[in-house]
Chain A
């Protein structure tokens, strides 16, 4: 328990580092110049990076959540193989609920990439 707390504290301390890197990378050359083309390129680059980071975090969380559900289902089947049909159905149901949260993120990413509602205001502040 002590070691677990130590590792958890380390991860919490390292949490802002990732976002600092991301902010530095994506806003490093984000000084808006006067040309509309540069503003457009900057906008689409930021949108693409936001979608990629969001989807990566959602996939990470969904993978861990689904692996927990699958672990318990496999434990149950190993303990009692004749209940495998019922356990399989419950596992699929749980997996779909967890996966839905990652799918919400995917839907937002698709909307931002393909049907961006803010793309009309690029270049005019």
Chain B
């Protein structure tokens, strides 16, 4: 497993008390932070009304993500949680794609990073529910429609709530670790057969990890949105009118 743990600069920040793998992962996490913040700073350096370059890419990405959130969580509270969801998306995307550079390890291929992110999402659903419909409304939503089965339903919903960070963590960990193992195997194969004949094979095989990275980042951003919407009681109470308003707008747009 030596080549799975190599860092690109061949140096790690000497955090005391961490194993070598931990130091590599934390170094790569800081590296991903620097990349995401650096590109964001570069994109917002000279904001213009007609976006060009990185500002255009960021506007398209965040607008698309904000559109999804407004669809799922409603127009009023959708944009309110866009910073959190977009942070998840950008960090996980950059973290996944770093692993494709030969010699680098994705910070998201370690279960600790993913557990940290999933715990943030788990605590956030609690706070979103309380902020949107109040503590009493949130508890009443958890207890279900009928008061008779309230204890059973409350228990079931709590256990299901705890299964969400586990599934988020393991999904991201399994996918990105599998991707890293695949690249390690390709490296070993290239070492045996020579690098030059392996270049077209690696180009062809690398399409799958790129698609997986994009989809997993999108899913890690989409699932907390759905959990937020569930915590807000979306689709069960009076939000139906807002939903039909949106579809009426879309029908008008299609007619004109």
Asked if A and B bind, the verdict is yes
Interchain CA distance A89-B181 in the complex, whole Å = 28
Known contacts A89-B68, A92-B218, A110-B177: does B1 contact A100 (CB below 8 Å)?
Answer: no
A96 touching B171, Cβ below 8 Å = yes
Once the chains are docked, how many angstroms separate the CA of A100 from the CA of B170?
A: 8
CB-based contact A110/B181 at 8 Å: yes
Least CB distance, A99 to chain B, in whole angstroms: 8
B8 interfacial contact with A, CB 8 Å: no
- What separation, in Å, do the CA atoms of A89 and B177 have in the docked complex? 25
Q: Which candidate, A3-11, A19-27, A37-45, A101-109, is the interface stretch facing chain B?
A: A101-109
Q: Which of B171, B177, B181, B219 contacts A93 (CB 8 A)?
A: B219
Contact pick for A104, options B174, B177, B254, CB 8 Å: B174
Q: Is the interface of B mostly helix, strand, loop or mixed?
A: helix
The count of residues in chain A whose C-beta lies closer than 8 Å to any C-beta of chain B is 12
Closest residue of chain A to B177 (Cβ to Cβ) is A110
Q: Give Cα A89–Cα B222 distance, bound, in whole angstroms.
A: 10
Query: A93 near B174 (CB under 8 angstroms)?
Result: no
Contact A103 B171 (CB under 8 A): yes
Q: Contacts A93-B219, A93-B222, A114-B1 given: A103-B68 contact, CB under 8 Å?
A: no
CA distance A61 to B14 in the complex (A): 45
Tally of B interface residues using CB under 8 Å: 17
Docked Cα-Cα span, A13 to B137, in Å, equals: 53
Known contacts A89-B68, A93-B222, A100-B167; A107 and B215 CB within 8 A of each other: no
Interface: B3 (CB within 8 A):
no
Residues from 37 to 83 in A contacting B, C-beta threshold 8 Å: 82
Tell me the A residues contacting B by CB distance below 8 Å: 82, 89, 92-93, 96, 100, 103-104, 106-107, 110, 114
6 new A-B contacts at CB < 8 Å, known A89-B68, A92-B219: A93-B222, A96-B216, A100-B167, A100-B174, A103-B170, A110-B181
A-B pairs, top 5 by smallest CB distance, nearest first, are A103-B174, A107-B174, A100-B171, A96-B219, A106-B174
